[in-house]
Amino acid sequence: MKTNKLIMMLMLMATPITLMAQNENNVNGSKRLFTLDDLIPGGSTYYQHSYTPTLYLTWWGEECVNRDLDFCSTIDKQTGEETQLFTLDEINRCIAPEKANYLYLVEFPYPEQTLVLVTTTKKRVLVDWKAEKVVWQQNIESGASGEDWNRHSRNLAFVKEHNLYVTDADNNLHTLSTDGSNDIRYGESVHRDEFGITKGTFWNNDGTLLAFYRMDQSMVSSYPQVNVTPDFKDGESRCATMIPDKYPMSGETSHKVSVGIYNVAKKTTVYLNTGDPTNRYFTNIAWSNDGKQIFLIELNRDQNHAHLDCYDVETGNCIATLFDERNDKYVEPEHPIVFLPWNDSQFVYQTRNRDGYNHLFLYEWKNGKAKQLRQLTSGKFEVLSVLGFNRKAERIVFASNEQDPIGCTISSVDMKGHRTLLSNQHGWHNGELSDGGEYISDNWSWGGDSEYGRMITLLDAVRPTKQNSEESKVSLHSTMRMQDPWNDYQVPEMKVGTIKAADGVTDLYYRLTLPTNFDPNKKYPTVVYVYGGPHAHNIDASRHWGVRGWDIWMAQRGYVMFCLDNRGSENRGLEFEQATFRNLGVDEMKDQMCGIDYLRSLPYVDADRIGVHGWSYGGYMTTSLMTTYPETFKVGVAGGPVIDWKYYEVMYGERYMDTPEQNPEGFKTTSLLGKAHNLQGRLLIIYGGNDPTCVPQHTLSFIRACIDAGTHPDLFTYPGDGHNMMGTDRIHLHEHITRYFDDFLK
């Protein structure tokens, strides 16, 4: 049946939020103040009042589908009108006695068939909603993780207790390993999630062959994490128990990884003949279109030499090394090659190592050799991601910051290197491509738009939007706008700009958040929020310039909040990132001090009341700034900090610092243990009691150094928590941080 236009539905979605805000306003109609629960994920009112609502859109072939709580409907790409496909009740009647609680996550795997994939706690079910019947179902193993389902074969790979299994389309269970343990792991992410690795299983296109990782970490040192609240029975010891983490620190023995290939039909496994896997990384696994070859990038322990290798699936033998890449500092492969859907002999490769920015290169693969045909994208910008392929136009659809260094827009490029901008609005765009790549659902926001928190535009990837559109927010197709829930609050003023880095040349982006009810004639305490490390940024063109909820909370309490993306952070090219090589924290601090100079130039900033806060790498930066420039920072709160890079893990630490043996001066310079005596201001260090990333050894060693030096930091821990606090602990964390600044800076 036909419903009203989607924009009407969005208005209805926004109504409860607006009404609640109006009911809580003062009688004179003034806007409300935030609570911390409003601003922080895990807060009791976060998803009601401050989380920007969205639509759970997906694609059924080239049809856009809105997945709501209790119904699914197609969206007309020209008018925005919806046509309902089915309801939750209708699906549940089909799959009974199984039951789905909502439809947000259903999938439409077959473009030409009226089949929807519904996943419950016990079953994976394909329902023909038109015929109102179940056409196929598959059991889900209790305790399974890392589930990887292939829509063509309907085979499912999963991990349980570190062993790997496959449930085939006929519900037969295949056991691929039996010796899985904390030491030996199958089908899981390896190399501590570096090099773009996020999972451990990889189906070929038709889902008949499964590549998987096997990781042996029996030779790796165990970090002695402690469970302070163990389960025990009457009569048993109540003592805390050990829960060791395998944690290879810089320069130490690392784990060994191998790659297996399982043939579902033959029930056989072949391992790639990579030779001794010691001190090597195997990354970016990819399949040829026909599934006869598998490709991976091999990287040496020094991470300065990578090569792309091709292996035969039947024998596991290496067929050829296609090419290699070297860099005096480091090579960091993060993207597998991708073969063109319309040409089995051509693939796309991403690298930042050729011209200093991440770009796309087209290769031809024939007779065991690879030839570069051309560079498809070029310029002083980064390709941020590849969304997929427009098969009809034979173009690659990708996201980049070509239009704005702190933005993200969507473009396409043909096989001759001709680029076309598809999203012509400022902001940060997250696109999802339709099955054939002809359309894009573009979920985006823009920091300069104070009215709408999120917009969703349906873009035509074949006939792109004209660039001279009279209204910047209108595309060729429907644009759906969701009102920003912060419109009912007193939102402080935010400014974004640039200053020069310590090199006097490079532009650095900052975000300045002014106190609520700002008075330019007053002097305000100021807190610098810092991260500063690679693979992250804080300032972008998304909603409210990417501001954190805690920054808004502090601005409401009368603080100026400042954030600067220094050299070493992401999306600005290789030279920008590698400026910190072998001396992490040094140039970053110099850049942050340029930010301090800017703050001191502002008449409303009280230069005697400047604080700093950061987490993880930002915790390292906070502690380093407090002990390197003690006369500048009166108060600091460092969360989960690195203290000495010799205690950090092999993959990340050695990429940016080399080993302690190779770079003794760099490790000495960047260690904060020797700076403990410099501490003058009030410093609070917070850490998770079972942090597996920045292990507690960092924090505790610094506390010991401060005791020996006669300085007095404060310490707080979250027992049982990891690197980040979640849920209500996250609210408590931000309350605790705020209290510290209120007590000693305000």
Kindly state the greatest CA–CA separation across the chain: 78
Sheet holding 343-351, edge to edge: 338-340, 343-351, 359-366, 369-375
Active-site annotation holder among 723, 732, 736, 742: 723
Cα–Cα nearest to 447, from 506, 513, 385 = 513
Active-site annotation holds for 412: no
Contact 443, 456 (CB under 8 A): yes
Contact 105, 88 (CB under 8 A): no
Residue type, 616: S
Contact 318, 311 (CB under 8 A): yes
> 622 by DSSP, 3-state: which?
helix
Omega cis (within 30) before 248: no
Alpha-carbon span 552 to 491, nearest angstrom: 8
Active-site annotation holder among 309, 691, 698, 721: 691
Active-site annotation holds for 691: yes
Alpha-carbon span 577 to 207, nearest angstrom: 38
Alpha-carbon span 647 to 653, nearest angstrom: 9
How is 132-200 classified by DSSP, letter by letter? TEEEEEEE--TT-EEEEE-TTT--EEEEETTEEEEE-TT--EEE--S--SSSEEESS--GGG-TT---S
Active-site annotation holds for 616: yes
Alpha-carbon span 395 to 348, nearest angstrom: 11
**Torsion angle (degrees, nearest 10) of CA 43, 44, 46, 48:** 180
| Tokens, residue 137 | 């179902």
> 486 by DSSP, 3-state: which?
helix
Contact 137, 167 (CB under 8 A): no
Q: How many helices (H) and strands (E) does the chain have?
A: 11, 45
Active site (catalytic) residues = 616, 691, 723
